[in-house]
Amino acid sequence: MTSYYVILDNILLRDPSHAGYTRLEASSGPELLEKVKARYEWNHSECVLELWSHEPGHRNRPIRIDTLSVIPEGHDFLWIKAKPKRA
């Protein structure tokens, strides 16, 4: 298992203790996403959560982490985005 640091991006929660980075351990993107949902008690059926990371450098594009079975090295700090479910 590897440690990752996640932070909320476009999500506001009532509990101020959720501000800032949270350390979670996981061995894959889907496992990390499930731990994020449990940590933040996510039960909003109208939105889905996604985990994103960005390698340093202005030309590097963000990559979606929650769909990867192996999280690449160097992607220790992630942000959590909520997106509306498609109809």
Q: Which CATH number fits domain 2-84: 3.10.20.90, 1.10.260.40, 3.40.50.620, 3.40.190.10?
A: 3.10.20.90
Stretch 44-54: mean pLDDT, rounded? 91
Alpha helices (H) along 3-43: 29-39
What's residue 6's pLDDT? 96
**What is the percentage of the chain residues whose pLDDT exceeds 90?**
63
- Give the confidence band of 63 by pLDDT, cuts at 50, 70, 90: very high
- Tens of pLDDT along 18-39? 788 999 999 999 999 999 999 9
**What is the percentage of the chain residues whose pLDDT exceeds 70?**
97
How many CB atoms within 10 Å of residue 44?
14
